[in-house]
Structure 1
Amino acid sequence: MNDDLILEDNWTGAEGANANGIPVMVRYRQNIREFIDTGSYPTKIEISWLYDTDEAAEMPTPGEATVMENFEAALIAALEGDKQSILVAVMTGQGEKHWQWYTANARMAQERIDMALLDFETLPININTKEDPNWNDYFDFIADFGGAA
């Protein structure tokens, strides 16, 4: 799948705050224009995790943050190896963490996610898919944080 495309692990991070001053951490992948331009990734998958906050920072507790990191690593291993799906953005704050992926095949991606989840206890996640062939959600996300694709 898309063997000619190079998926760099090049990310931009940003810190922000909502209107109430609650911190939000974001990161998004740069240098993915070739993936966008192929038209081969028309579906966005968003995985959301509601978490108990560390009250001082509104971020996940250290233990939950570690599970989230392991979960993300498992998904990357399951989805990105053959570039079937690519992780493009992550947002953490206000009691929620969101991973945004674009995929060539939502059904296949869901099967791979299900297999990756077998290594974990039940997690407080929701998975939603949306057709977004022009990557409008991705562009809106990075525009909010001053970036470019």
Structure 2
Amino acid sequence: MKLGDVWFSAIAEAENSDRMIVVSGRTEIEPFIQSGKFKERVEITWKYEADSKGMPNETTGKLMEEVQTVLKQAMEKDKLAIFTGIYTGDGERTWVFYTRNIPAFGRMLNETLAPFETLPLTIYTEKDPEWNEYREMCELQDQDNDDEDLDE
């Protein structure tokens, strides 16, 4: 299975405020879903001091991009996990991965982030063999496409 790197972007509304959340979701990963090997979802959330629009400042944003790049490379190198989504806004960024093995994911996470100073991250894991969170995220892409159709 070859892992592509095609993403979509969409806008969602934060649950507890009227701020927008920028959502980036990976497409063309159906073979990985169908393999049945990636049954555990891991969400890594970074809370930050938000600007007036709920976004991180430039320095924090750059550090987040750096962390995201090394995490993606490390987790996908041997297909330990598939990086599927990014949610940014309302004072937090969440990265979503689907993994084969939570303990191995945790070890790789610690190893990968060791060169960085301690980051304000929280980790949440859940069994999600049906990829429900991913499918819900993909519905945002369809909604955005529907909105574009209305604009034409």
1:28 corresponds to which residue?
25
**Native 8 Å contact 2:40 2:98 kept in 1:** yes
Question: Is 1:62 aligned to residue 37 of structure 2?
Answer: no
With structure 2 as the length reference, what TM-score do the two structures score?
0.88
Shift of 1:60: 0.3
Shift of 1:128: 1.1
Equivalent position SS for 1:41: coil
2:147 corresponds to which residue?
none
**Cα–Cα, structure 1 residues 87 and 39, in superposed 2: closer, same or farther, change >3 Å?**
same
1:100 corresponds to which residue?
96
Equivalent position SS for 2:112: helix
User: Which one of the candidate residues 43, 50, 55 is aligned to 1:53?
Assistant: 50
1:79 corresponds to which residue?
75
Distance 2:8 2:19 in 1: 20
2:35 corresponds to which residue?
38
Q: Aligned letter for 1:73?
A: T
Shift of 1:143: 1.6
Shift of 1:15: 2.6
Distance 1:77 1:32 in 2: 16
Paired residues, number:
142
Distance 1:77 1:88 in 2: 13
Equivalent position SS for 2:110: helix
Distance 2:129 2:62 in 1: 33
Distance 1:125 1:18 in 2: 19
Distance 1:78 1:18 in 2: 30
Equivalent position SS for 2:70: helix
**Any idea what the Cα deviations from partners look like across 1:33-57, whole Å, max 9, x if unmatched?**
00000000000000001000122x2
Runs of at least 5 residues in structure 1 that lack an aligned partner in the other structure: none
Runs of at least 5 residues in structure 2 that lack an aligned partner in the other structure: 144-152
Identity of aligned residues (%): 32
With structure 1 as the length reference, what TM-score do the two structures score?
0.90
User: Which one of the candidate residues 2, 5, 8 is aligned to 1:9?
Assistant: 5
